[in-house]
Chains A and B, each alone.
Chain A
Amino acid sequence: MSADIHTLTGAYALHALSESERAAFEEHLAECAACRKEVAEMQETAARLGSAVATEPPESLRRDVLAAIRRVRQLPPEDTNVTPLRGRRWPLRATSLVAAAAAIAAIVLGAQVIQLSEDATEAEQRLADIGSRYGAVAEMISAPDTKIMAATAGDMRATVVVSPRHGKVAFLPKQVPEPGEGKTYQLWLIGRDGAHSAGLLPDRDTPVVADTIRGANVLGVTVEPEGGSKQPTTQPVMTLALNS
């Protein structure tokens, strides 16, 4: 820690640095825990100086502020495993495919997928399982044109990943109602030339990846007799525009 830059804590806490000095000092702050502590204490101190000049504001301020916040959307929390669904890509450079797959699984299935309290072997087992089920999806997500969409229709919820570059679409069930005795869910890719089967939903938490996206602009889900149908025989329970 340079003694010289350290003396800037005071000027920084008082917002008395020029823009370029402030930027340089913030870089330094990021790696100087002692400086961060000192700055925080100085900000507390400055707040006391500010409180000493407290002045009653006009009544209109209260009214205006309370009206204004109704029109302002709040930022989501910074942290945790919450990831915005739309347009998010995971860089695969440093992470293994399995780790990316686990991240997807966490989003799709909720936080219960990986519990830190699990013993290592069991966690490894589950990661391997997730890797085999979600690996194909993780690969898609590395494409720059990939879109990730949250789909909800009635009680059915799913995450849909579309990669025009790979020509693939993945359907990741999140919440799927019982299709009924002797019935199954079937996925369809629908374009100008009609509906093409994109496969059956094998169970309620295994993703389906279809690699015949070309020409299709809608993904549909229908309930079909066990084994599936050549063409949809019921009204779709869910449809999703792929190029939205």
Chain B
Amino acid sequence: MHGATPEHVNTGDPDLRAVAQPGHQDLMSRIARGDEQAFTELYDLLAERVFGLVLRVMRDPAQSEEVAQEVFVELWRTASRFQSDRGSVTAWAMTIAHRRAVDRVRSAQSTMDREARVAAGQQDRPFDSVADEVAGRFERRQVRQCLDTLTELQRESVGLAYYQGYTYGEVATLLDTPLGTIKTRLRDGLIRLRDCLGVTR
């Protein structure tokens, strides 16, 4: 396993240091007991990530704010169900945020124009410009570097699915590639990213 080492993680960005802490079980236990102060800490820890991801998938700032609020209310509501042995608080929150954003863009309202876009074979934004956007802070640099270790097809597939919320069937259509190939590229791409980023459990 290569990628993040403890020295890297402690290079000064307090935000990043907080995320690198596994668990946050204590914070979550307090929230589960109804501690609003603890929840405020969680909000401050995650707000930029949750909002940024939702905005990236949804594009519309007003709708994104609405969905981000729903995400945080869900984190509050389900805090007692969080189990640190199943993953980090950040992964838990980001999984919920991504799911909500994806569900929203897939809802009936947006289905038609999405289908039109997919049929026309045009994504409204090439993935590479997304990768350009994520330069900057250490974490972004690291993700960028790891994305560079993927094959082009892996990188495109993961980007379209994650950042744009497409199903793998839609990704297959957009990239004019067989379904089975996209399935395995998504998995292989994530495994390579996992190893590069040093994600372990």
Q: Give A contacts to B, CB under 8 Å.
A: 7-11, 13-18, 37, 40-58, 60-62, 64-66, 68-70, 72-78
Assembly CA distance A14 to B182 (angstroms): 12
For residue B149, CB closer than 8 A to chain A, the reply is no
A141 to B7, CA, bound (A): 60
Assess A44 versus B194: contact at CB under 8 Å? Given A7-B184, A11-B183: yes
Contact mask for chain B residues 1-20; partner A; CB cutoff 8 A; 1 contact, 0 none: 00000000000000000010
A61 and B81 form a contact (CB under 8 A): no
Are B69 and A61 in contact, CB atoms less than 8 angstroms apart?
yes
Is there an interface contact between B130 and A41, defined as CB atoms closer than 8 Å? no
Q: Which residues of A contact B163 (CB under 8 A)?
A: 49, 53
Contact with A along B111-146 (1 / 0, CB 8 A): 000000000000000000010011000011001100
Contact call A57/B193, Cβ cutoff below 8 A? no
Which residue of the partner chain B has the closest CB to A42?
Answer: B190
- Verify A49–B36 contact, CB threshold 8 A: no
Docked complex Cα distance between A46 and B53 (Å): 10
Q: A37-B201, A47-B95, A64-B65 are in contact. List 13 more A-B contacts (CB 8 A).
A: A10-B186, A10-B187, A15-B165, A16-B162, A44-B91, A45-B190, A50-B97, A53-B130, A56-B51, A58-B65, A62-B43, A64-B69, A74-B80
Residues of B contacting A58 in the complex (Cβ-Cβ under 8 angstroms) = 61, 65
1/0 per residue, CB under 8 A from A, across B170-201: the answer is 01000000000011111111110110010111
Q: Which residues of B contact A40 (CB under 8 A)?
A: 86-87, 91, 201
Bound CA span A191–B13, Å: 71
The answer to whether the Cβ of B40 comes within 8 Å of any Cβ in the partner chain is yes
Question: Known: A43-B87, A55-B55, A64-B69. Is A13-B190 also a contact (CB below 8 A)?
Answer: yes
